[in-house]
Amino acid sequence: MTMAPRTHRPFGSSLSRTPPPPHEQGFSLIEALVALLILGVAAAGLVRAVESHIDSIARLEQRAAAVWVAENRLTELTLADRDAEIGTVDMLGRRWQVRTTMRTSPDPALSRVDVAVGPPGGTAMVTIGGFVDRGPKIALLPVPQS
C-alpha cells in the first residue's frame, strides 16, 4: 500500500476553499454607508438621552439648593424673633428669592410659617412649612462650673 505524498497547506485552510473573486471581497460602498447611517442615528439618540439626563440632574441640584435655603430661613426664624419678609440669599453661586409668610395657629404660642424659595422674580421652586415658637422666652442661666 502506497500513500500519496502530503502537500504543504497553510494552517486553517481546507481542501474545498477557493479564494473569492476580486469583486466580492470586503464591503461595498453602499453597505459601508448604511452602517455609518445606523451608527449616526444611534449616536444622535445617545446624545439626546445624555443631554436629558444632565438637564434633570441640574434641576435636582437647583431644587436641593432651594430646599436648603428654605430650611435655613425656617431655622433663622426659629432662633431669632423676626417677622415675615421677602429677601434674597446667595447659595451655591446662585441668588434665591425667599418669601416668608406667617399665620396664626390654634396654639397662640406657635405661628405657622411657610417659606417659598425660587429664582428672583420667578415662581417658587420649593415651599416648606413649619411652626415657630412665639411663646414667652426663657432665659438660660449659666451653669456653675466646679
Write down the pTM of the prediction: 0.62
Q: How far is CA 76 from the centre of its chain?
A: 28
DSSP 30-72: HHHHHHHHHHHHHHHHHHHHHHHHHHHHHHHHHHHHHHHHHHH
Per-residue pLDDT reduced to its tens digit, 17-43:
676 666 666 778 899 999 999 999 999
- Can you tell me the distance from the alpha carbon of 71 to that of 106, in angstroms, rounded to the nearest whole number? 23
Q: Which helix (H) or strand (E) holds 8?
A: none
Longest distance between any two alpha carbons in the chain, whole Å = 121
- Of the options 3.40.50.1980, 3.20.20.70, 3.10.129.10, 3.30.1300.30, the CATH number for the domain spanning 29-133: 3.30.1300.30
Is residue 113 a contact partner of residue 83, using CB atoms and an 8 Å limit?
no
Domain spans of the chain?
29-133
Q: What is the pLDDT of residues 2-22, one digit of tens each?
A: 666 666 555 655 556 676 666
Amino acid found at 92: L
Please give the backbone phi and psi of residue 28, each rounded to the nearest 5 degrees, phi first: -80, 165
60-109 pLDDT tens trace: 999 999 999 999 998 888 887 666 577 888 888 899 999 998 888 888 88
DSSP 5: P
Report helix, strand and coil shares of the chain as percent, to nearest 5: 35, 25, 40
Q: Is the CB of residue 73 less than 8 Å from the CB of residue 92?
A: no
